[in-house]
Chains A and B, each alone.
Chain A
Amino acid sequence: AQRVTQPEKLLSVFKGAPVELKCNYSYSGSPELFWYVQYSRQRLQLLLRHISRESIKGFTADLNKGETSFHLKKPFAQEEDSAMYYCALGPSSGSARQLTFGSGTQLTVLP
């Protein structure tokens, strides 16, 4: 069974501090990992996906297959980063397209 675990429901950091949101997964196969973000009163939107290896809004995430992790990192947090972050997993191939989401981490960046 596939599963995504985000151990922190709430995370607070000060502006300018580094931030790391943890995500661990279990999946029998080769997964595709995503980070979605939901800002206040906005819809869920893709932040980044591991296959594209992009840095979006200063965020990066590295897929560690040995530790089955896909932690989201940013070296210097900004107040506008305050949002709900969801880690999600999907199959890397085939016709199945459903995403399995973690429970989310509410990030608050304090001034």
Chain B
Amino acid sequence: KAGVTQTPRYLIKTRGQQVTLSCSPISGHRSVSWYQQTPGQGLQFLFEYFSETQRNKGNFPGRFSGRQFSNSRSEMNVSTLELGDSALYLCASHRGQRGGSPDTQYFGPGTRLTVL
């Protein structure tokens, strides 16, 4: 089956603008997690959505938000962009089963955001 897709793959914005990134999970997966990857901080968890509800949230400011649609596709939004938001944003799709051991997360190729 098709893997996780993310659009766009590359994005250039200027400070103060806002941006929306999209993630389409693997068919049948109900959970989407978002991560930020930077050379300095590595991979950091942003948030997780399951059945259109945010289930977990990392330690990021409120400028970072997300949502999930009924078809499990997810978007994340960053408002009032700062230079430090330049990063690779990865989404990961998983089945989202409740309880038990965590199921495997399958990662997308990422969206490379550059803030000028």
Q: Say if A and B assemble together.
A: yes
Q: Which positions in A face B, CB cutoff 8 Å?
A: 32, 36, 43-46, 49, 51, 86, 88, 90-104
Binds A, one of B17-25, B69-77, B103-111: B103-111
Chain B: interface residue count, which band? Answer: 20 to 34
Query: Is there an interface contact between B101 and A95, defined as CB atoms closer than 8 Å?
Result: no
| Interface residue? B45 (CB, 8 A) | yes
Candidates B42, B44, B99, B109; contact of A43 at CB < 8 Å: B109
Nearest-neighbour CB distance to chain A for B56, whole angstroms, equals: 5
| Interface residue? B90 (CB, 8 A) | yes
Q: Which residues of B contact A90 (CB under 8 A)?
A: 102
Query: Is there an interface contact between A97 and B96, defined as CB atoms closer than 8 Å?
Result: yes
Chain A residue nearest to B104 (CB atoms) is A46
Candidates B48, B106, B107; contact of A97 at CB < 8 Å: B48
Candidates A46, A88, A92, A101; contact of B101 at CB < 8 Å: A92
Q: Which residues of A contact B3 (CB under 8 A)?
A: 43
Q: In the complex, A51→B103 CA distance in Å? A: 11
Candidates B33, B90, B99, B101; contact of A98 at CB < 8 Å: B33
Chain B residue nearest to A94 (CB atoms) is B99
